[in-house]
Amino acid sequence: MEKSKKIILTGDRPTGRLHVGHYVGSLKRRVELQNSGEFDQIFIMIADAQALTDNADNPEKVRQNIIEVALDYLSCGLDPAKSTLFIQSQIPELTELTFYYMNLVTVSRLQRNPTVKNEIKLRNFEASIPVGFFAYPISQASDITAFKATTVPVGEDQLPMIEQTREIVRSFNHIYGEVLVEPDVLLPDNKACLRLPGTDGKAKMSKSLNNCIYLSDTQEEVKKKIMSMFTDPNHIRVEDPGCVEGNPVFIYLDAFCRDEHFKTHWPEYQNLDELKAHYTRGGLGDVKVKRFLNQVLQEELEPIRARRKAYEQNIPEVYRILKEGSICAQKAAAATLAEVKAAMKINYFDDEELIQAQAQKFRQQP
């Protein structure tokens, strides 16, 4: 049975280069899942159509960032031989599904979606929300269900989208018959990875706040950003006791550091707990901790940078990968759309039985 297949779908809006928050929140996990061999199919989508829902006036930004995101994917280790990398707008079936799903969702349900609510505020859309933006959770349900995804690895902010998708699936299957698959969300298991703060300690990493460490930053850029990171504002002299909770340097260490890092870079401590205890007691300066974080992060980012360099020398190949992936993704989405249309009774020309039955009905009429 189709249902027992394990299928991943996830993606990102191409509105900027991806940063270390994307990495620990989702990208790293995707690569692990890809290499686990546990999944029958993996679809990774560059969500350009979704990006246009709030960037309709800036198509060039979206166009430029397609290649940035693709390079970020490939450099993190997503492998086109194992994962299908594709571009959302190239799959018209997704738009078609969205139009049908719109009938299953109410305006008030969309208004209650906490992620959309928050984004409307952030973009000052309160007075005039573009319909496409307002409805993007429905389009996201199409992205997921078109591939019969069972598993959607995303960050915490996407939870309301998956919940909305599950409701649409239940509603569709209830009305039209069991066609769609209810997906499960897969969140990062490390709490620090759920929402990595910006280098300024603000909850959200954002390009406009200039508080992100990008996967494509050079070694020097990363070092500079780490050395100027916010820490505990009350930790003024080295002897002062410091606070690790809410301290971005320690949150980053929570996300990136493993015991092995201490063996190679800082053998005075066995593990992060010991380091935190020292910082909390007092007598440990921020600069030392930042230097250590720099070593840990550089070690993680170095292979990513190296792979990026290689792909940057072969951009036409990257576009070829996306094109092949889009062709493959379209086939999968078309198969689901055919089932959806049959279930919704809008497959008139494929249904010989219907044509015969209608013929019969009208023949009998005098």
Nearer to ligand TRP, 88 or 247 (CB): 88
152 binds ligand TRP (CB under 6 A): yes
What token pair was written down for 142? 């199409």
Q: Pick the stretch among 8-16, 99-107, 210-218, 277-285 that binds ligand TRP (CB under 6 A).
A: 8-16
Nearer to ligand TRP, 25 or 198 (CB): 25
3-state class (DSSP) for residue 246 = coil
Residues in the chain: 366
Min CB(207)–ligand TRP separation in Å: 14
What token pair was written down for 236? 């003024």
Nearer to ligand TRP, 75 or 98 (CB): 98
Nearer to ligand TRP, 127 or 131 (CB): 131
215 binds ligand TRP (CB under 6 A): no
9 binds ligand TRP (CB under 6 A): yes
CA 59/CA 322 separation, integer angstroms: 19
Please name which of 99, 111, 88, 109 lies closest in space to residue 166, comparing C-alpha atoms: 109
Give the CA radius of gyration of the chain. Answer: 24
Residue nearest to ligand TRP (CB): 47
- Which residues, other chains included, contact 208 with Cβ-Cβ below 8 Å and sequence gap of 6+? none
**Strand locations in 57-172, DSSP E?**
84-87, 151-153
154 binds ligand TRP (CB under 6 A): yes
140 binds ligand TRP (CB under 6 A): yes
Min CB(161)–ligand TRP separation in Å: 6
Give the x/- contact pattern for ligand TRP in 80-119, rule: CB under 6 A: ----------------------------------------
Report yes or no: 184 and 149 within 8 Å, Cβ to Cβ.
no
Residue with tokens 């230097």: 291
28 binds ligand TRP (CB under 6 A): no
Min CB(275)–ligand TRP separation in Å: 33
Please name which of 11, 16, 15 lies closest in space to residue 216, comparing C-alpha atoms: 16
Q: Pick the stretch among 6-14, 99-107, 303-311, 356-364 that binds ligand TRP (CB under 6 A).
A: 6-14
14 binds ligand TRP (CB under 6 A): no
Nearer to ligand TRP, 93 or 143 (CB): 143
Min CB(235)–ligand TRP separation in Å: 35
Please name which of 144, 45, 142 lies closest in space to residue 97, comparing C-alpha atoms: 142
Q: Pick the stretch among 5-13, 197-205, 295-303, 326-334 that binds ligand TRP (CB under 6 A).
A: 5-13
Pairing of strands 84-87, 151-153: unpaired
47 binds ligand TRP (CB under 6 A): yes
Please name which of 106, 111, 104 lies closest in space to residue 129, comparing C-alpha atoms: 111
DSSP 89-113: GG-HHHHHHHHHHGGG--HHHHHT-
Choose which of 138, 144, 275, 329 interacts with ligand TRP (CB under 6 A): 144
Nearer to ligand TRP, 143 or 232 (CB): 143
Report yes or no: 8 and 45 within 8 Å, Cβ to Cβ.
no
> What residue ranges bind ligand TRP (CB under 6 A)?
9-13, 47, 50, 140, 143-144, 152, 154, 158
